[in-house]
């Protein structure tokens, strides 16, 4: 019986710390998962799968607006102007585009949440 207890204690001494470290890692991971789920339920976290299509649509819309302004509107407005005036018009256009994107983003952020797609 003494020999069995000695072997048992030796086993715990040799394997105990590694096992404790693994248990700690597992408990830490479980806690992180529980915290993330609580944040998701509280509305603090949105899964990528839900937000990605919305952001893709927003960026495609912004690209279309940018392309329209730069390819269709600007050439006609800049034809025959001197470089200083062209630069001033480009600054105005940049501000207009940024304001447009800020407004659409703010409108999207301030709107009520919708059900996932």
Amino acid 69: pLDDT: 93
Cα angle 101, 80, 90; round to 5: 20
pLDDT per position as a tens digit, 66-83:
999 999 999 999 999 999
DSSP 28-43: HHHHHHHHHHHHHHTT
For 3, 13, 44, the CA distances from 6, given in Å and listed in that order, are: 5, 10, 53
**Residue partners of 101: CB distance under 8 A and separation at least 6:** 62, 65
pLDDT of residue 117: 46
Note the pTM of the prediction, 2 decimals.
0.52
Distance separating alpha carbons of residues 49 and 47, to the nearest angstrom:
5
């Amino acid at each position: 019986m003494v020999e069995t207890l000695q072997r048992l204690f030796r086993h715990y001494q040799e394997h105990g710390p590694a096992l404790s470290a693994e248990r700690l890692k597992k408990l830490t991971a479980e806690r992180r998962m529980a915290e993330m789920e609580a944040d998701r339920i509280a509305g603090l976290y949105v899964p990528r799968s839900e937000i990605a299509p919305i952001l893709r649509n927003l960026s495609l819309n912004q690209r279309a607006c940018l392309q329209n302004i730069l390819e269709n509107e600007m050439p006609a407005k800049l034809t025959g102007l001197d470089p200083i005036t062209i630069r001033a018009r480009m600054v105005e256009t940049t501000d207009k585009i940024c304001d447009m994107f800020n407004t659409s983003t703010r409108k999207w952020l301030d709107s009520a949440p919708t059900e996932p797609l």
